[in-house]
Amino acid sequence: MVSKKSFLDLEKIKTELLKYGVKDVNSEIGKIEKQIKSALNSYKEKNKIAREQYKNAIPFSEIYDSTDKLNLPDWVQKKINSARIFGKSKQMIIFPDGEKYQINNPLNNLSGGNWLNFTTSVFSTFYTTKGKDSYAHEIRKIHPSPKPPQLMREIIEFFTKENEIIFDYFMGVGGSLLGAGLSKRKAIGIELNEKFIKAYKNAAKEIGVDIFPTKCGDCLEILNNEKEMKSLLNNEKISLVLLDPPYANMMSKEKTGGDIAVYGNNATPFTNDERDFGNLKQTVFFDSLKQSVEFVLPYMKKHGYIVVFIKDLQPNKKELNLLHADIIKKLNEIPNLNYKGLRIWVDRSAKLFPYGYPFSFVANQIHQYILVFRKEK
C-alpha cells in the first residue's frame, strides 16, 4: 500500500513502471518505499551509535603530532580538525558524521563504511553509455567488451593507495588505466592491438586524465623480458594486477543460436593474431593465463593483488564451461599465490535476448565474476 505522503516522486516512478509493462504499479511502489524506509532506519540507528562513539572519543591533536596527519589520505586531512581517536589501540579516527578511518590500514585509503560496501559478494550497476558520464564510451566502444572506468576505479581504490602502480597486460581500450587516472594512481598497460591503444589515449584526453605508458605487443613475450619489464616499471613494484582477459576463443567462434541475432553469423575475434588469448583453445588459454601470472609475480609487492574478470560460457553436454571455477583452480596451483574470493558484477545495462525461446532455457548472462588472488610473500 502506497503511503499518502511520500518522499518519492511517485508520478515519475509510475510513468517508468508503466512504460515497462508493470500492471500493479501501486504494489510495486509500496515495495520500493518499504525498502527505502528500512534502509533509512538502519542508517539512523548506525548514526546514533556513531554519535555516541564520537562523543566519548579523544581529539586527534591530543594524541598525535600535527606531522602525523601527513601520512593520512587527503579526505581525512581535509577533516582533521574535527577528527577524534576512538578505541583502545588509538588507531581509529572517527568524525562527527560517524565516518571512520583505520590509521594503520596498509591496503587502501577507504573509510570503514566504504570498505564494508565494497566487500558485498554481489553488486549491480547501470552505467550510461551517453554523454559526459559515459567516460568516452563513444571512443571506447570499438572494443567488444570495454570495462567501465568507474567500475575499475572502485576496484583500484580498494586494492591500492594513491600513487601506487596498477598493471594491466590485457588493457584493451584502457578501462583500468582510465580508472587509475580517476583515482590518483599510476598505471601501465600492454595490448596486442595498436588500434585499442590509440582509442585509450583518445579517451584519456576526452576525460581529462593522465595518459599512462603503454606497450603494444604480446604480453607473454614482454612479461618474460626482464629488461623490458624493468624499463616499464622503472624499478617500482606493482600493487595491483587488474585483468580482463579474452575469454578463450569465445569471440573467435562462428556464432550459433541466439547469438546470431546479436553478432551475426560470423566470428568476431579481438584480432586475427595467433598470439591473441582470444584465439586460443580453452586448455591452451588456461595454461597461458597461468604462465602470464607466473611471469608477473616477481614484479609485484608482497601482499599485492591480482584481480581477474571472467565470464562463463554457455554449458553443453560435453562441457560445463564454468570458466571462473577452472581459472581459480588453475591459478591457485601457483606457489605464493592464494585465491581470496570473488565478487559477482551484474551489468544491468546489458541487453536481454530471447535465447532458447520458446523451446528451451538459455540464461541471459548479464553477470561477470571478479576473481581475487593475493601474492603472499
- 147 and 18 together in one domain: no
Question: Pick from 104, 138, 172: which residue ends a domain?
Answer: 104
Q: Does residue 117 sit within a domain?
A: no
Domain match, 36 and 159 both: no
Q: Kindly state whether residues 130 and 256 are assigned to the same domain.
A: yes
179: containing domain:
122-375
Clarify whether residues 309 and 166 are in a common domain. yes
Q: What is the pLDDT of residue 90?
A: 94
pLDDT at 248 over 70: no
Is residue 1 domain-resident? Answer: no
**133 and 52 housed in the same domain:** no
- Flag whether 116 is in a domain: no
Do 62 and 147 lie in one domain? The reply is no
Average pLDDT over all residues of the chain? 90
The domain tally of the chain equals 2
* pLDDT of res. 257: 54
Give a yes or no: residue 371 inside a domain.
Answer: yes
By percentage, how much of the chain surpasses pLDDT 70? Answer: 92
Count of Cβ atoms closer than 10 Å to residue 43 Cβ: 11
Identify the CA nearest to 144 among candidates 289, 304, 26, 311: 311
Centre a 10 Å sphere on the Cβ of residue 352 and count the other Cβ atoms it contains.
Answer: 7
Query: Do 200 and 259 belong to one domain?
Result: yes
* Average pLDDT value for residue range 145-173: 97
The answer to whether 337 and 299 have CB atoms below 8 angstroms apart is no
- Asked if 58 and 84 touch (Cβ cutoff 8 Å), the reply is yes
In a domain, 254, yes or no: yes
Q: What is the pLDDT of residues 293-310, one digit of tens each?
A: 999 999 999 999 999 999
The band of 249, judged by pLDDT with boundaries at 50, 70 and 90, is low
End residue of a domain, out of 53, 75, 104: 104
pLDDT at 23: 81
Q: Is residue 2 part of a domain?
A: no
151 and 295 both lie in a single domain:
yes
> What is the structure's pLDDT at 263?
53
Tell me the three cell numbers of residue 102.
583505520
- In this structure, the answer to whether residues 93 and 129 fall within a common structural domain is no
Residue pLDDT, tens place only, 164-203: 999 999 999 999 999 999 999 999 999 999 999 999 999 9
pLDDT one-digit tens code per residue, 121-132: 999 999 999 999
Which range has the worst mean pLDDT, 193-197, 272-276, 328-332?
Answer: 272-276
Question: Quick one: 214 and 99 in the same domain?
Answer: no
Residue 112 domain-assigned?
Answer: no
Q: How many helices (H) and strands (E) does the chain have?
A: 13, 12
- Run of H or E including 11: helix 10-19
Residue 351 has pLDDT above 80, yes or no: yes
Is 35 a residue whose pLDDT tops 90?
A: no
The domain boundary, picked from 44, 74, 104, lies at 104
- Clarify whether residues 143 and 28 are in a common domain: no
Please indicate, yes or no, whether residues 315 and 361 belong to a single structural domain of this protein. Answer: yes
**Mean pLDDT, residues 245-260 taken together:** 60
Burial environment of residue 356 by CB neighbours within 10 A (0 to 12, 13 to 18, 19 or more): middle
Residue 72 is assigned to a structural domain of this protein: yes
CATH of the domain at 183: 3.40.50.150
Predicted pLDDT at 28: 85
- Output the pLDDT for position 254: 58
In SS3 terms, 93-114 reads as EECCCCCEEECCCCCCCCCHHH
With cut-offs at 50, 70 and 90, classify the pLDDT of residue 39.
confident
pTM: 0.86
Give the pLDDT band (50/70/90) at residue 1.
very low
